[in-house]
A and B are shown apart, each in its own frame.
Chain A
């Protein structure tokens, strides 16, 4: 097992068909069993980074590399990245009326198996019930249509449930705390912690604007993204520092750095 679960180096990204860089040389490494928080002001490129890791087709990588377990994922489709072990919890999960969570998850599991080796309906049912029990989700939840008419909290719980069923190696949680009240935040955070405990190798990249969620999910490392670059990295105490001083001191520092390349 390589030390580096996720290794991002000198990553430059533009929106497909546009010139302006959103990410301007990101370096970031997440090891197995590590929880990393990626913080930063609005518009710094946090969510872009999450989507690029997951393979969103709207973005183009113009330079740099993303390795998962030492292998490049840049040429992989989003589904291939998922099967390789990457999971992104969406900030704004899509609503899929007419498709139940159960059917969606079963299709997702079957997609990572051979055509003639579909998961047994009852085995799946049992797995799903276990995971829902683990996350203290109502057993009827999986019969609902995917995110259709869900509250913000329900949508995020659905993301965590999917993560529990798909058992990724790397979980990228994109602003999972946004739009949640304190109860929902606690529930979702507990879910992430439960899964991290259940799979001690799980690597987590937690993207957030606020320190609030870090009271529930304790990061090993904290990074700050400013204008498309990691401007500062440190331990959990960096988050406290940001809480007190905001991001401005870092912005000033990055201004001093001459705009590179492109």
Chain B
């Protein structure tokens, strides 16, 4: 891996790699990792939980349509380099091109736009590059690998890392995520600081048969503002690899945070996104999931509205082809009065792809004057593709406004004929209609640069080019 500077070889006598199939050796391996004791302790506890818990089965509602009971995480080689902190910072632009450890596809994306406050790149679980604008660092913004933060700002990890409430359906995967954590990043935005441009991170998997566990911890303090894009990618892999991607997002009072997970893995990857959002008073958080790649892509997105007047916008797009399987699972948890959540998830499927959406709005007795909306729309392009939508409400307060709705539909034949009559093939016409279908979500993504990046990724996936063109 790169020049391997961050990779710690675990002494064979200390137990070898951290393999969860052999608890004692795994424990020994954890103890042998060159990393702060707080992290080792978290791993040990998680390992214990992992061993006690069964894999989720289709008997539970939450996993009824996504069968991973036979997925043995134990069989994958965990990518645990040992978290010994960030390498010396490179300088970008300029230095980035010389960084051979940054994969070409990442450089391509970075070359298209310079609008960002920081970059963090992880390859097969190893941090290979990171940078934060100097002036932001001077203003107290922390943006670094978890292991670095563990040494330099342990208080931040103490306060935020692995503190989100984990729902039962997710416990097993979360335990694996923590026990086998490869590395992650922390973005901490102090009170009143606003990041002018996005933070862009990349997670690349290049090896078949591995399990990578990565974490995004983003905390924006009172009145602060940040946008963060997590981009996941890999080439097509000949054998399965697993990606466990945890995200904990915290918005302090009146904070603004936009978080985008752009998943565009190649074939062979099974991706599990475990996202937890916690919103305090009058904060404004938006979480966007763009799911394009992998064989199996599951996103569990939980939004806890814990402060009055908080707002949570939840957006997602997915496009499935071949035999891809997407499962989006959401919770809008209203535990405070006068909070607002608005979910819009849209998916399009072709070939023999399948998708599941299961969403719950839960309003606690404290959640008076809640405004909560949940919409899932699915567009089916082929006979063998199918989408399942399971919206739900659970309301324990009496003065609320909630609505939910879901549709599964096909391409409109009049639209199709209209487009074809202008020369587009059926496939081109369908793809253009998918693009139009997605626009409603794209239009709600605030930053133009971010929107363009997502549009590009979608265009690449669905194979049409519309590259933004304005008339002026």
- Stretch in A88-96, A176-184, A196-204, A219-227 with 4+ CB within 8 Å of B: A88-96
Q: How far is the CB of B467 from chain A (nearest CB, A)?
A: 6
Give B428's nearest chain A residue, CB to CB: A111
Give B468's nearest chain A residue, CB to CB: A103
Q: How many residues of A contact B (CB 8 A)?
A: 47
Give A94's nearest chain B residue, CB to CB: B418
On chain A, the residues within 8 Å of B415 by CB distance are 94-96
Contact: A106 with B469, CB < 8 Å? Answer: yes
Contact: A93 with B472, CB < 8 Å? Answer: no
On chain B, the residues within 8 Å of A124 by CB distance are 469
Taken together as a complex, chains A and B put the C-alpha atoms of A87 and B467 apart, in Å, by: 25
Contact: A56 with B433, CB < 8 Å? Answer: no
> B336-363 toward A: CB 8 Å interface, digit per residue (1/0)?
0000000000000000000000000000
Contact: B435 with A128, CB < 8 Å? Answer: no
Taken together as a complex, chains A and B put the C-alpha atoms of A57 and B429 apart, in Å, by: 15
> B412-454 toward A: CB 8 Å interface, digit per residue (1/0)?
1111011111111110110011011111100000000000000
Q: How far is the CB of A166 from chain B (nearest CB, A)?
A: 7
Q: How far is the CB of B365 from chain A (nearest CB, A)?
A: 40
Q: Does B60 contact A (CB under 8 A)?
A: no
Contact: B428 with A121, CB < 8 Å? Answer: no
Q: Does A99 contact B (CB under 8 A)?
A: yes
Q: Does B407 contact A (CB under 8 A)?
A: no
Give B431's nearest chain A residue, CB to CB: A107
> What band does the interface of chain B fall in when counting residues whose beta carbon is under 8 Å from A?
20 to 34
Contact: B436 with A82, CB < 8 Å? Answer: no
Give B422's nearest chain A residue, CB to CB: A108
Contact: B471 with A96, CB < 8 Å? Answer: no
Taken together as a complex, chains A and B put the C-alpha atoms of A145 and B417 apart, in Å, by: 17
Q: Does B464 contact A (CB under 8 A)?
A: yes
Contact: B472 with A104, CB < 8 Å? Answer: no
On chain B, the residues within 8 Å of A108 by CB distance are 419, 422-424
Contact: B438 with A79, CB < 8 Å? Answer: no
Q: Does A102 contact B (CB under 8 A)?
A: yes
Taken together as a complex, chains A and B put the C-alpha atoms of A166 and B465 apart, in Å, by: 18
User: Which residues of chain A (214-255) have a CB below 8 Å from chain B?
Assistant: none
A sample of 19 cross-chain residue pairs with beta-carbon separation below 8 angstroms, ordered by A number, consists of: A54-B421, A78-B417, A78-B420, A79-B420, A79-B429, A93-B418, A96-B419, A104-B432, A106-B469, A107-B428, A109-B423, A111-B422, A118-B465, A121-B467, A128-B471, A129-B471, A141-B471, A145-B436, A166-B423
- Interface residues, chain B, with chain A CB atoms under 8 Å away: 412-415, 417-426, 428-429, 432-433, 435-440, 464-467, 469-472
- Interface residues, chain A, with chain B CB atoms under 8 Å away: 54-57, 77-79, 81-83, 87-88, 90, 93-100, 102-112, 118, 121, 124-125, 128-129, 132, 139-143, 145, 162, 166
- 10 extra interface residue pairs, beta carbon distance < 8 Å, beyond A78-B421, A81-B421, A99-B433: A55-B420, A82-B421, A87-B421, A97-B436, A98-B437, A99-B432, A104-B422, A112-B423, A132-B471, A143-B470
